[in-house]
Structure 1
Amino acid sequence: MKTALITGCSSGYGLETARHFHAQGWNVIATMRNPREDLLPRSARLRVLPLDVTDPTSIAAVLAHSGPIDVLVNNAGIGLFGAFEATPMSTTRAVFETNTFGVMAMTQAVLPQFRERRTGVVVNVTSSATLAPMPLVAVYTASKMAVEGFTASLAFELQDFGVRVKLIEPGYAPSTRFTSNGSQRMQGLIPQAYAPYAQRVFTSFAQTDAVTTEADVAAAVWHAATTSDPQLRFPAGADAVALARAR
């Protein structure tokens, strides 16, 4: 029976992906900063563990209790919406610590076991912001674009060891907690000079018909993790698929 370790499972894509892999009969290690056992079904095949992807000690502790894993899903991330001019560099660094360096740290931690066993899959979740420029998310986009470049290069250097690396590019998902999870971090990031433009952006988002759901992303992660297709990028959600085709 195979095992998937999934980061960022407290809500949204990570939570739905953990449920999906479990429903497919896999062992699942669902990690979150603040573990909540009530979010997932009680099962001998499912464990909820605390994990802060920005903390090397936390990463080591999770892997010490995980045993061999077959798939790593790097889903943990934080959102940011605001004018770059108003974004403190400390906030920019915090976004990169989780969205970029956290992905790298988790990947580096599991690679020795994948390489030695000559098998394993790393699935990195980015965003459709990497498919087409989007307004007021410059820092967030930069953190995800870095993961895209990292993943594409890593795929080459691991292929001789039988280790596969994949990218999931979710579209706009209004049903997730992207904004609420980052509300405190985003305070003050829309100065008065940017307010009219920001309002037009918010209005365009509200009028969007084609959106992404958590189930879209979970299905894409599952497909990427289990397919023998050499495809690197997997857009998830109707809007992301349309952007990928346009590109």
Structure 2
Amino acid sequence: MGQKTNPIGNRLGIIRGWESNWYGGNDYGDRLAEDDKIRKYVFARLAKASVSRVIIERTLKLVTITVTTARPGIIIGKGGQEVDKLKEELKKITDKEVQINIFEIKRPEVDANLVAASICRQIEGRISYRRAIKMAIAAAMRMNAEGIKVLISGRLNGAEMARSEGYKDGRIPLSTFRADIDYALHEAHTTYGRLGIKVWIMKGEVYGKRELSPLVGMATSPSKGGNQDGPKKPRRRK
């Protein structure tokens, strides 16, 4: 089972939390569709900001959107101008007050979404897919990942027949529920068609009870006073 299913969905409620956190009644479908619209808008609007995840929490009159990114400065802008613009744009989608939190990803080399997106960009820039994948694997292992696996499928190098190639380093125990495995699927658009890139990254094992907050284990953005040790609160803009 672990080899076939999405490793994130397979661990929901065990060591992984949900990315939409709210209770829905008769308007459940409308809220779910709105969440999808928000995510698509944020990813398109912040395409150059290396956004990994968009986590949405709702109360009666407030929508809290948490963006995890490797480049928080692009989202915030000078004096917070860009994030204020984004907040106003999202208000028009939700018709509610919006609060935006920004979390910085300290190690983008071991974030599956960012790794897959980086490989896609390099392939679209006509860099050899083998070189792009091997560089991503080497970078992840340097950042103390326990294992990484990359699978690429499609018309590789413009071949007439599509095929798949897999590259792996370390271990990826997909059937072990305590294994903290990050997963992502992205597509590279080339002149020969689309290539699918799947990335699995093994970050370690979780023993004992784990809080199921979607941001557990995330490192937050440094405060304006400079780098400081210890946990930090997310930035909140009201």
Structure holding more strand per residue = 2
